[in-house]
Amino acid sequence: MIETPQLRPELLNKYNLNGPRYTSYPTALEFHNRFDQEDFKLAIQDSTNKQLSLYVHVPFCHSMCYYCGCNKIVTRQKNKADRYLDYLEQEIVNRAPLFTHHKVIQLHLGGGTPSFLSAGQFTRLMGILRQHFQFQTQVEMSIEIDPREIELNLLDHLKNLGFNRLSFGLQDTNLIVQEAINRVQDTEFVQALLTRARELNYDSINLDLIYGLPHQTSARFQQTLEKVMLLNPDRISLFSYAHLPTRFAAQRKIRDEWLPSGDEKLSLMLDAMAHFTANGYVAIGMDHFAKPDDELALAQKQQILHRNFQGYTTKGECDLLGLGVSSISSIGKAYAQNTKKLKDYYQAIEDKGQAVEKGVSLSQDDIIRGAVIKALMCNFMLDKDAISKQFSINFDHYFKAELIKLNTFLTDGLITITPKSIMVLAEGRLLIRSIAMAFDAYLNAATTQAFSKVI
Ligand code: SF4
């Protein structure tokens, strides 16, 4: 089990800067609109992958959570999803012929709120996907669920459609916190959902939590943590609330003085980490926890964990096709993103049958740095020899400047560097984003401001 780290206050002040979460390298900030459909096709042709992961973005939500920084549309009109599915169908019909040599091994529905869809709309969506793509017999099918607006029996319907993994947004169980974020939900109903999911033999249940929310105190969050343990999920995602009110208008409803201070926020995170590890969960990467027999925990142990736009995954060696407004694809040596506004998405599908707005084709340097950053973010360890061999470089020579940048972390006892490896120590794991930033060739003072604080 990974030891629960502490962080010296002076290091929190020194390294808790703004930085990417590295769900991709280069980050989405480097995507540009010179990347087009021809580049997208070229990436598919050049890709050696034969396995495909599908991501479908459902942008609608029933109401606005004030902390949210996602791309979503708040509406009560269910029929908006019918129109959306009409356009999604056209996109799928046009995209699928490019992937006839791929087999789908993974599907994830994210949002927004995928559970905004009705049972009939889910049936329709799955029918379209299965008609146009080749699904392998065993497919990992996961969906994010908002526990506020669904009926218990939706879980039965999703299971019948082939879904086997559920992720519920819990965030915090305290009513004062819930009211401040405009997300009041009943923990007893969440319990009922998890009970039903277990009766239906879902393979894995994840709960999302957020620390750093308004009015969250140590005592209140402790109660949330205890309730989470009673709910007994297979996985827990523990996200940091990034307060960026100048970027996200809804966050202006959250007053600065309601938020925990930097030190208090760090304590909330450390308390949660200690609580989960004391209860038998293994820390995965920087913000996930899983039971020791969960495949993420096993993959981390074998150092084969991957990271993509949905976070940590065991299925990194496949192409990822994003479908729907704002979705991101990772195909071979390229990233591509669909247009972010729904109106523009509809127009693009009508005009061109697809909605890629921007992207980036990776240079060899991007690929090497991406592999280094991924190893650090996933495994907290970098085998320099393996990178040298894989990319025919001399690691120490290639990353001479970056190794100098790492000296500060070395001096502060956050990492060790040997001729063969870089190891991130327990305290350094909390600052893994800052450490990975040393290998990012694109960062500068202006771009880092676009990212949230690393803790
Ligand atoms: S947190 Fe989820 S449910 Fe809430 S507004 Fe954002 S996307 Fe919608």
- With a CB cutoff of 8 Å and minimum separation 6, the contacts of 234 are 204, 205, 206, 290, 291, 294
pTM given for the model: 0.94
- Tell me the backbone φ, ψ of residue 209, rounded to 5 degrees: -125, 155
Give the confidence band of 3 by pLDDT, cuts at 50, 70, 90.
low
Domain residue extents for the chain? 1-26+364-455, 27-320
Q: State in Å: Cα 183 to ligand 1 middle.
A: 9
**Token reading at 289:** 């926890």
- With a CB cutoff of 8 Å and minimum separation 6, the contacts of 129 are 54, 56, 92, 104, 107, 135
Angstrom distance (rounded) from CA 442 to CA 155: 43
**Residue of the CA atom closest to atom 7 of ligand 1:** 112
Give the confidence band of 303 by pLDDT, cuts at 50, 70, 90.
confident
Pocket of ligand 1 (CB under 6 A): 61, 64-65, 68, 70, 72, 111-113, 146, 169
Angstrom distance (rounded) from CA 209 to CA 171: 4
Per-residue pLDDT reduced to its tens digit, 195-213: 999 999 999 999 999 999 9
Residue of 145, 143, 112, 101 lying closest to 126 (CA atoms): 143
Per-residue pLDDT reduced to its tens digit, 322-365: 999 999 999 999 999 999 999 999 999 999 999 999 999 999 99
| pLDDT above 50 for 1 | no
Q: State in Å: Cα 439 to ligand 1 middle.
A: 32
**Residue of the CA atom closest to atom 1 of ligand 1:** 68
Q: State in Å: Cα 10 to ligand 1 middle.
A: 35
Nearest ligand 1 atom to the CA of 183 is: 4
Q: State in Å: Cα 302 to ligand 1 middle.
A: 34
Nearest ligand 1 atom to the CA of 111 is: 7
Per-residue pLDDT reduced to its tens digit, 151-193: 999 999 999 999 999 999 999 999 999 999 999 999 999 999 9
Q: What is the mean pLDDT of residues 39-61?
A: 97
Q: State in Å: Cα 240 to ligand 1 middle.
A: 15
Nearest ligand 1 atom to the CA of 146 is: 3
Which pLDDT does position 446 carry in this prediction? 63
Give the confidence band of 146 by pLDDT, cuts at 50, 70, 90.
very high
Nearest ligand 1 atom to the CA of 250 is: 5
Angstrom distance (rounded) from CA 99 to CA 43: 12
Angstrom distance (rounded) from CA 367 to CA 113: 33
- Number of other CB atoms surrounding residue 83 within 10 Å: 12
Nearest ligand 1 atom to the CA of 61 is: 8
Give the confidence band of 455 by pLDDT, cuts at 50, 70, 90.
confident
The residue with tokens 């990194």 is 316
**pLDDT > 90: percent of the chain:** 84
Q: State in Å: Cα 350 to ligand 1 middle.
A: 28
Nearest ligand 1 atom to the CA of 171 is: 1
SS (H, E, C) the chain: CCCCCCCCHHHHHHHCCECCCCCCCCCHHHCECCCCHHHHHHHHHHCCCCEEEEEEEECEECCCCCCCCCCCEECCCCCHHHHHHHHHHHHHHHHHHHHCCCEEEEEEEEECCHHHCCHHHHHHHHHHHHHHCCEEEEEEEEEEECCCCCCCCHHHHHHHHCCCEEEEEEECCCHHHHHHCCCCCCHHHHHHHHHHHHHCCCCEEEEEEEECCCCCCHHHHHHHHHHHHHHCCCEEEEEECCCCCCCCHHHHHCCHHHCCCHHHHHHHHHHHHHHHHHCCCEEECCCEEECCCCHHHHHHHCCCCEEECCEEECCCCCEEEEECCCCEEEECCEEEEECCCHHHHHHHHHHHCCCEEEEEECCHHHHHHHHHHHHHHHHCEEEHHHHHHHHCCCHHHHCHHHHHHCHHHHHCCCEEECCCEEEECHHHHCCHHHHHHHHCCCCCHHHHCCCCECC
**Residue of the CA atom closest to atom 6 of ligand 1:** 68
Which of 60, 146, 207 maximizes ligand 1 atoms within 8 Å of its Cβ, making it the mutation to test the pocket?
Answer: 146
Q: State in Å: Cα 61 to ligand 1 middle.
A: 6
Angle between helices 342-352 and 80-95 (to 10 degrees): 40
Which pLDDT does position 371 carry in this prediction? 96
CA distances from 121 to 31, 49, 108, 158 (A): 32, 31, 16, 11
Question: 1-26+364-455: what fold?
Answer: Arc Repressor Mutant, subunit A (1.10.10)
Domain 27-320 -> CATH class: alpha beta
Q: State in Å: Cα 169 to ligand 1 middle.
A: 9
Angstrom distance (rounded) from CA 50 to CA 70: 30
Per-residue pLDDT reduced to its tens digit, 388-420: 999 999 999 999 999 999 999 999 999 999 999
